[in-house]
Amino acid sequence: MPVTGNGTPVGVIVDGYSVGEHLPPAFRRLGADVVHLRSTPAFLDCVPPPDLRPYLAETVLDAADPGLTAKELAAYGPCGVLPGQETGVPPADMMAELLGVPGNPSATSALRRDKYRMIEALRAAGVPCADQLKSADADEVLAWARTTGYPVVVKPLSSASTDKVSVCRGPGDVRAAVAEVLGSQDIFGRHNAEVLVQSFLDGTEYIVDVVKGPGGGRHVCGVWAYEKTLVGRRPVYDRDVLLDPGAPVVARLVDYLDTVLDALDIRFGAAHAEIMLTATGPVLVEVGARLNGLMDPGHHDSCLDGNQADLLALACVRPREYARAHSGDTLYRKHREAMVVHARTGREGVVEAVDEEALARITALDTVHLAVPRLAPGDRMRPTTDLLSSPLRVFLTGDSQDQLLADHRRIGRLADEVFRLAPN
């Protein structure tokens, strides 16, 4: 096993922002160290910087000479290179390849990052998928939508968290959505020079979390149903509900996902897929080749038989142990009912303070495992139109769905009390 000079295994985390913060503790729990690889010269200013305290060291990707960066990382004898967020996917593929550790082919990284190429790869493989067009011309998009038929979905090519995703029911909606995307930046600071328009997928949306180990063993970590409301032209997520692994829909979704993973060359690591179950069967919305951004390890451990972060660290640090547990394709076990609530608000203004007493009233509810305010003093609150503008995320577990739904309603009444807005 590759190790440092003192015998400790080392994992490399690329862009350990957001959900990537769960990877260093997972490696530490296995007695391993972690090194942070930043893919940009400066930290991205569109997301909070990663906490570097758990890391042994940090290095910055030399875009002009990636081989030099690989040589620097090789001194640690890394056992794996993993993306912390979307921006880390292509450099993680490249570094894993250069270092000779398990990973996904760098030649096909774009299929796992660019939403247009992602769907075209499915089409080429004969996997059911949406019709689509990418363009920088609003008139071309309008002509395509007219031919395809409304509604259609307009979104950026490579963003996340439902950023600027619009369900358009007519030409006016399309023009507004295209104007919003073109020339703007996505949540990772990338310029949106083109827009993606896709046929509308009507049905129930699910998310499937998986980890693939170095021997190809695939474990499904959980399947969740997305419940959402359309606010204007925005699909706003309300809650995610954990399904029983024996539910008939789970087998259909997992069988479909396996064809998607093959088409997108996802051979190793974590992934989460958003899949719409339409009248004709499962159809992919998109895949993230990284941890599910809505995952909290403690929450998943309380309702499932593990979480993506720990399982992924195990695949890197102790691959034989992972292979013994997941030599083929395995499925999660569910211990309790679970739900993730995305609170909504219609308020707008600058947050003056987080009311700890109001937050405590939510955390005191019987089913609440964790409540996470997503705004801090000085942040601007805006009416909820996507996952990014949800001000509060609450993780619930309980013995019955009725318990969870009752507390979901209570959270809806209490959520706005958590944030005090500055006058005017």
pLDDT at residue 387 greater than cutoff 60: yes
User: What Cα–Cα distance (Å) separates residue 30 from each residue in 19, 33, 36, 107, 294?
Assistant: 19, 9, 17, 31, 23
Q: What is the CA radius of gyration of the chain?
A: 21
Q: Which residue has the tokens 């159809």?
A: 283
Q: Put residue 355 in one of left, alpha, beta given phi > 0 → left and psi -120 to 50 → alpha.
A: beta
Residue 391 · residue 345 · CB < 8 Å: yes
Nearest Cα to 215, choosing from 121, 315, 351, 77? 315
- d(C-alpha 351, C-alpha 346), whole Å: 14
pLDDT band with cut points at 50, 70 and 90 for residue 327: confident
Segment among 31-40, 83-92, 158-167, 171-180 with least mean pLDDT: 158-167
pTM of the complete model: 0.92
Token code pair at residue 55: 């890391």
- d(C-alpha 129, C-alpha 204), whole Å: 15
pLDDT value of residue 317 = 97
Which amino acid is located at 59 in the chain? T
**What are the start-end ranges of the E strands in 177-217?**
195-199, 204-212
pLDDT value of residue 344 = 93
List the helix and strand counts (H, then E) for the chain. Answer: 12, 20
Residue 57 · residue 67 · CB < 8 Å: no
Sign, Cα dihedral of 341, 280, 283, 207: positive
Token code pair at residue 32: 């391993």
Residue 414 DSSP label: H
Residues 6+ apart with CB under 8 A from 277: 203, 204, 205, 206, 249, 252, 253
Q: Residues 48-99: pLDDT tens digits?
A: 899 999 999 999 999 999 999 999 999 999 999 999 999 999 999 999 999 9
Q: Residues 272-311: pLDDT tens digits?
A: 999 999 999 999 999 999 999 999 999 999 999 999 999 9
pLDDT band with cut points at 50, 70 and 90 for residue 361: very high
pLDDT at residue 379 greater than cutoff 80: yes
Token code pair at residue 166: 């619009």
> Would you say how long the chain is, in residues?
424
- d(C-alpha 61, C-alpha 53), whole Å: 19
Q: Residues 20-30: pLDDT tens digits?
A: 999 999 999 99
Classify strands 329-331 and 392-398 as parallel, antiparallel or unpaired.
Answer: unpaired
pLDDT band with cut points at 50, 70 and 90 for residue 263: very high
